[in-house]
Amino acid sequence: MTTSFNRRQILTHAAAASALSALGASTATSAWAQQAARSPAHAKATKLASTLRIVIPANPGGGWDQTGRALGTALVGVGAADQIEYENIGGKGGTIGLAKYAEKYGNDANTLLMGGMVMVGAVALQKPAVDLTQIQPLARLTSDYLVAAVAAKSPIQNTKDLAEALRADLRSVPVAGGSAGGVDHIFAGVLARAAKASPENLVYKPFAGGSEVVDAVLSGSATVGLSGYSEFSDAIAAGKLRAIGVSSRRSVFGLPAFREQGLDAAMANWRGVFTGKGVAAARAAEMLNAVEAATGHESWQRTLKNNRWEPSWLAGKDLAEFMELDLTTARVMVYLLKLKA
């Protein structure tokens, strides 16, 4: 399939490729880095409708599901709706849910869609017929970091052990994570490259949710699992999993960053909320106002704290430009890391 790019995209491709080649895996951070988070000026929400719907393009229990349900609770809390209906449509990094949302709710002013970096990566890898041009971004909400974990009985004790195992025989170290092309998949490639292994030998096992990633690692079908801290925290606390490192630049969650342990790999994840392409600009502005108010509600703030998510508010033109760069960079990473759907 031939992809056409405008001049800006071509220059972005070239810059990202050149930087990654020159500086190694850590350059993924500069291309994927979250912009400086700021706290939105919380406005009082007007009531959008008695019932709002939030489509979550993933199975229950994962990061998008947690984010969507927390947002729904906060929207009710600030009076934007009396109740929220949730619709989970999992599969292929959110692209199945994206397609169904665009078809069924593209003009629905009372239905929101969750999404984020995983969906951007999946679109870059899969090149689906329905892509991000079919929806309108409203706001980026949170940023998160990835944790790499192994079973407690694994001989891999630390990042040095992990790097040596990846470099010695990448095919014998299967990695479990979220959907193909998503942030976990891309970071698995970044880890392989940082360890000086050949990314094309990566054995990546995609799953629809963090609990399935945990099961894969505990069962031995995967050596390493990648997911957000909130999806691994219970298994780590119970002593079932051992965390090896986190994809931040500095230690977080009480865990050491890969960079601090000598493996030059870092990446930030993000999650956001969208509306349909056919929703009028005035209505989209009302929805954005309600979401902005919801992020100031105590229930939302409590969720951020409990899951150790960072607020990462971005909206408007800044968000549109951020997403354009994100998608272009995802295409570059899929090519350079030789990721396969």
Residue 9 has what pLDDT? 44
d(CA 83, CA 76): 6
Residue 43 has what pLDDT? 53
Residue 44 has what pLDDT? 66
Phi, psi angles (nearest 5°) of residue 117: -60, -35
Residue 4 has what pLDDT? 39
| Three-state secondary-structure class, residue 225 | strand
Residue 101 has what pLDDT? 98
d(CA 105, CA 51): 14
Residue 305 has what pLDDT? 92
Residue 220 has what pLDDT? 97
Residue 46 has what pLDDT? 87
On the CB side of 22, CA atoms within 13 Å amount to 7
Listed as ranges, residues in the chain with pLDDT below 50 are 1-39, 41
Kindly report, residue by residue over 217-244, the tens digit of the pLDDT.
999 999 999 998 988 999 999 999 999 9
What is the pTM for the complete model shown? 0.77
Q: Which residue ranges form the domains of the chain, and what is each CATH number?
A: 51-143+270-336 (3.40.190.150), 144-261 (3.40.190.10)
d(CA 175, CA 170): 10
Q: What angle do CA 45, 48, 50 make, to 5 degrees?
A: 120
Residue 176 pairs with which residues in a beta bridge?
205, 225
Residue 16 has what pLDDT? 45
Q: Are 197 and 172 in contact (CB under 8 A)?
A: no
